[in-house]
Structure 1
Amino acid sequence: MVAYKSKMVERIRLPSREQRERNLEAAGYNLFNLSSEEVFVDLLTDSGTGAMSDAQWAALIRGDESYAGSRSFEELEEAVADVMGFSNVVPTHQGRGAENVLYGALLSAGDVVPNNTHFDTTRAHISNQDADPVDCPIDVAHDPDAEEPFKGNFSLERARAVVEEHGAERIPVVVQTITNNSAAGQAVSVENTRKVREFADEIDATFVIDACRFAENAYFVSQREEEFADASIADIAREQLGYADALVMSGKKDGLVNAGGFVATDDDALFEQCKQRAILYEGFPTYGGMAGRDVAAMAVGLREAVEDAYLEDRIEQVREFGAQLAAVGVPVYTPTSGHAVYVDAGELFPHLDAEEFPGQVLACELYREGGVRGVELGSFAFPDTDRPELVRLAVPRRTYHREHFDHVVETAEAVLEKRETVSGLQLASDPVMPEIRHFTAELEPVPSSQ
């Protein structure tokens, strides 16, 4: 069932194939370098790219732009307390600002941080503190075909091996990301979160949940975890988040806004540390780098994110998109996530080695064929990690319609038909931080003689 109708539209245009060819070359075969006007259907990310509701737009107009003590901040505090269960909130300009505030307060050089799987900016922020991010996914997390309802779970077995190798004293923080974006956006069970809480207590570590897609995760729990079959999405979200000592949040995902994030905690000492860092890096603790109107819109968005009608529409749209791609033979990671469809480029281009970046090749070919922009999350984005060669087609919230997805499916089918003729890419430039090189690095086609 479609839960929305349009009140405003934006014209988009598909550049000619010749223009797309020139755009790819000028961008150094890195789709981050494309102008938005050069893209027809933009599935690069679901972060801050969605459409806000009429209630959120109304909140924008009512936003309080006071530097200190803003009414909009009080609305955000109330929403975080009601929806997520935490009393202390430190707003930031977006999720990576929250990561900088929180991990800068918690970590020191030489620390080790286990996570079910670190995403790019999380890995970079931990590394920036001279700490070591260690992934602890379950065994089937990187198997695109495995039938498992919670492939995003945190592996306690791997985490305990990390403790044995490094010692508990070097592990001050344990992180669980829900949903697990770097493992194809897979869901995490509440039971697994409880066990991670117990593990963190065992080693006297702070337990942090990266809650960017907490509402989507709660929806999957309601569908897949028997204990919660009759629970509301809102109750599931509060239950799962309640096991954490602190949350790090990008409001640009399940806050349903175009800007903003925050740290939330009930630990008063940690709250004070985060406030001081926020003043230094983000702004006064009641606006945190955001305009008051954006704070007000996020307060409304958090409440909308746990509404059943919104989530059913959101998850079903992504599921149907994945089914359409699979139906034409595109190798899709299953089950589909709540925010994106992940395509297995390694299977689609078996003739390309990892050193030729098959995921980045697929992302470029989707743009070349149909002006579609996705993002590679394989060996290009995550060098020196053992992950499948995935391309994420992230679906902006409340933005695209069936006709847009039909176009993407037709585009992918065209790439599929010519896949044996596609050649690889190689690095032409390599930034100094490997954790985030995919944002700015440029590539070039592998010479035909290689």
Structure 2
Amino acid sequence: MLSRARTTVLAAASALALTAGLALTGAHAAPDRAGKGPAWTAAWAASPQRPSTGFEPNWSEDGFSGQTLRQVIRVTEGGDRARIRLSNAYGSSPLRIEGATVARTEKGASVQKGSVRRLTFGGKRSVSVPAHEQLSSDEAGLRLAPFESVTVTLHLAGTTGPATFHAQSFATSYRADGEHTADTGAEAFGESTESWYYLSGVDVSGSRPAKRDGVVLFGDSTTDGFASTADRDRRWSDALAERLAAAGTARPVLNAGIGGNLVLNDSAWYGERSANRFARDALDLPGVGTVVVLQGVNDIGFSESDTPTYKPAPVVSARDLIEGHRELIRQARAKGVRIVGATLLPFGGSDHDGKRAAAVSDAFNDWVRTSGEYDAYVDFDKALADPDDPQRLAPEYDSGDHLHPNDAGYRAMAHAVAPNAL
């Protein structure tokens, strides 16, 4: 099935290239230079993936032509200005955006009247995002509160070809024929899917002094929120942001999970290996100060499956997995970002289970707990284990596949994190 990786957070500022007034980046997402416009904080993020079939129907391989795409996300930080980040990381040709808007969400594909803001890019309504690049819009004057739902609408007048996307959003996106970026109603948006396309981030500014206190959760399907209730924001990243806010220690929490993602190997379905995407998806997000890494169960579990979705699935040792995590630690330290490790959740009885995988998991978890190589650690293995069978998820936390938590399990993960670890 899908993988799980545990939480990851963090971020740092990186270099910015200004091209025709746009914040344009290549391999890394780059926040504004000091003194060049407002200080931005990432309020929501999704990790880009190459177009692929995936487990559920999606529009990534066909792309779009003469259509309007409407996507709903929820921010974990507020501000009085907002901008979006668009990714054409896996496009083979420039992506033409003819128009874009941002608005407060009403319900489904409808938005609040009076909240629609037309987005510009270098002062222009249309823009081309070069192949393998990403860019940010200009700021829009839209006041957002933490945990508010935001709707981003893109008009794709031409034929895009295969679309950079995030496969499993656990949120509904909508499509209409023609130009409907300013529509407040949902009537035109007759098609839907549970993926995000081209949209890789929403940043905010102006609510408070800029801080590097954002937390990125980095990992696989467990971080991504697999088996959480769709359109209800029940991933463990959502639960952690809510818990921190309730405790009076509110801060942005960003999700950098990709279902099936691996520490050591690339995959057509499951994204680039962790070290290759770590800077782009975590360390370089504006305002990030901590990353929580939960990853490795797919590396050790895919080879146990009778029908693996990743082939060939190499046999990975604990030493191999630890070296992969050490590379993430090195990258984070080089950026001045705090990095927190997480033990792998129990997976007994799942399609990842086997004597070899269990032994590797135990050895890896022992390293996370005792090596001191991470700045801190979170023990999800103990927090979600069945007291009567510690190799398995506790029944009240099991989504049913014995690999991924349910909504209650994701809340338990959030409560397993000591705030001082962040």
- TM-score scaled to structure 1, two decimals? 0.26
* Bigger radius of gyration: 1
More strand by share: 2
- TM-score scaled to structure 2, two decimals? 0.27
